[in-house]
Amino acid sequence: MAVTALIIPFGHHGFASKVMSEFTHFNTAGDAHMVDVGDKAVTHRVAVAAGLIRMLPETHAMVSAGTHKKGDVLGIARIAGIMAAKRTSDLIPLCHPIGLTRVTVDFDIEVETTREQRAVECRVTAETRSQTGVEMEALIGLQTALATIYDMCKAVDRGMVIDAVRVLEKRGGKSGNWTAP
């Protein structure tokens, strides 16, 4: 598989300046910067992200029954997801540190799959009363929870696949509510 990179030279004229000015984390010169949210209103904001991890039926049975030799896989993944959501600004360079008021990490082990694979779906909801949104906190919590499942189960199933990671909805803030199509 070939990998293609798009290189856009920065400058004061032309395409690069226009494109870069449309992204909030770049100024018109193309320099990365942290967005100033100081004048934004503090509002209740919620984001929900979801994704899943596909695995062999035998692995799924151990995770579902809680009989994995490493212990309660989903319980540990839940704690890992919450902890990661709280540390998002340490991981994403231009992300604001925000006070989370709630993070939930829920699992659905009854996801419909093929005979050869089963899946565990994870859904993370992050909430705050802040000047900026919580989409990144929900996504980082989600991906960490799924990666924790992989880490705990890789000794018995290295072929697991993390899939369909996405933001499902966001509520609050100046831009209002959004739900994935």
CA distances in angstroms from 119 to 58, 90, 108, listed in the order given: 11, 30, 9
Collapsing DSSP to helix, strand or coil, 45 comes out as strand
Beta bridge partners of 103: 126
Q: Using CA atoms, how far apart are residues 45 and 61, in angstroms rounded to an integer?
A: 36
* Residues with catalytic roles: 151
Q: Which two tokens stand for residue 109?
A: 């082990």
Q: Which of 67, 70, 162 is nearest to 120 (CA)?
A: 162
Q: Quick check: 142 and 51 in contact, CB under 8 A? A: yes
